[in-house]
Structure 1
């Protein structure tokens, strides 16, 4: 009678998955020698993160995700994201892409990441995409929501981490009138933290306000792209209109500025959530990325 070959004690195996080490890594991922592009749909509670982008000695969404992917796939992984959210900003519809081993099973990767990742960040889906897909430059528009609780008691306890408690009156008619004057393509320099060599011209496609059944006011904001702090600066300016501190035509008047307006209050980060990113059909991905690069990247940094 043959003696069974002993199994390594640090490996668990399932009949439907590749062998998985206890540290989360996978054995025997077919196709590991070649790469393919994958889209990752990501959600996170931004409260305890120092934003998306990696920073030394800081806990960031990108850092946590890349580290977990590196453990699972046993090789370094670099993510490109649709929108680098600031510290404290949340996401239910963030999108990133990465070039990963072509033979991996997306469903298994999602399950493995669910075991490794902390509870405040989830990879909801991993999907193969064409090589032309670029999470940042192929995007047509980003959609954000900003939640404001106007009840005297503030935000409900279960929503306090993603809802601003607003202790002032809020005249929605004035806010809506002021919002209408901001729509369209403008230079939003007054509402942005300037980055050297980058444009602050953006096409604001939606800026609407509605009161939910629970009494919470939500601002829906969409644009082709946003510059640093733009959404929270717009919301902060409009909240000042809503409480009567500024006239309804004041925010639109700031569009004539070529520098950031110091009198604009930046709304707190925790009320803001990235909820969706729109992309064109597959056949149009490359053209969209090329167009966006020409608009957003300084000439001296362009690849073409």
Structure 2
């Protein structure tokens, strides 16, 4: 039985999503909890929508596993509660949903949406939000931030903003990038794309912040899209301000077609 798991976590004490030897990761603690329920060594095929970096949070992460039928028959109706008892307090499985075996958490996704929180108040972030909000020492102009963001929307080669991987494309399609100021005064960037390169969102935020505080003209971040190598002028914003808030999927009858198209695109 293929199961979709919707997961949230505070990334402060995790070395990212992906399992790593001798490091605490989200995939690691989730796998450990699952193995306590089904036994060690059972191949679960844990697949995630997006491998978040160390320190990055999630309220809308999605992954899937393939649970042996006999284990699903035993755990159906209780799996969510059992995982709540076994998972650490900084990582939660929020829903467990049976899905067709054509569903692929990574390749069937149509978009990933992130938010980045910035406090530009003189006193910094509120103490209770210090783990998910960046403190910025300079006042930010919302109009300048949105002007900078507008130039980055669309399908482009974001090589200047990416940590390049061998044989991997840096072309991405950003469908949404904008800033708002919430009632509590926090500036929040929302960015949505089909997929992202490593460190891409934090690099985009770092560039836009220098435009928002007046140190760079608002058109400057877009000028870097002509580059084909990572720009040394871009400062990567700290990880703790970033949260994966949503992953989108098509209807169930389109899972397979979407996954096939994504695999072709990434190749």
TM-score between the two structures when normalised by the length of structure 1: 0.85
Unaligned runs of 5+ in 1: 1-35, 298-304
Q: Which residue, out of 32, 38, 54, partners 1:87?
A: 54
The structure 2 residue matched to 1:98, chosen from 65, 72, 75, is 65
SS for the counterpart of 1:276 is: strand
Among residues 176, 180, 185, which one is paired with 1:215 in the alignment? Answer: 185
Contact 2:121-2:139 within 8 A present in 1 as well: no
CA distance in 1, matches of 2:150, 2:21: 41
Instruction: Output one character per residue of 1:242-267: Cα deviation in whole Å (capped at 9) or x when no partner.
Output: 11111111111110000100110100
Shift of 1:78: 3.3
Q: Contact (CA 8 Å) 2:173, 2:193: kept in 1 or not?
A: yes
**Which string of whole-angstrom CA distances, capped at 9 and with x for unpartnered residues, describes residues 161-182 of structure 1?**
0000111111111111111011
Task: Please give the alpha-carbon distance, in whole angstroms, between the structure 2 residues aligned to 1:131 and 1:144.
Answer: 27
Aligned residue in 2 for 1:49? 14
Query: Equivalents in 2 of 1:223, 1:106: separation in Å?
Result: 34
Hey, what's the Cα distance between the residues in 2 that align with 1:231 and 1:39?
Answer: 25
Deviation for aligned residue 1:82 = 0.2
Which of 128, 143, 146 pairs up with 1:158? Answer: 128
Tell me the TM-score normalized by structure 2: 0.96
Query: Corresponding residue for 1:143?
Result: 113
Q: 1:101: how far off? A: 2.3
SS in 1 for 2:17: coil
CA distance in 2, matches of 1:44, 1:271: 13
Do the aligned partners of 1:106 and 1:126 also contact (CA within 8 Å) in 2? Answer: no
Consecutive unaligned residues in structure 2, runs of 5 or more: none
CA distance in 2, matches of 1:67, 1:171: 45
| Residue number in structure 2 paired with 1:277 | 247
Which one scores higher on RCO, CA 8 angstroms, separation ≥ 6? 2
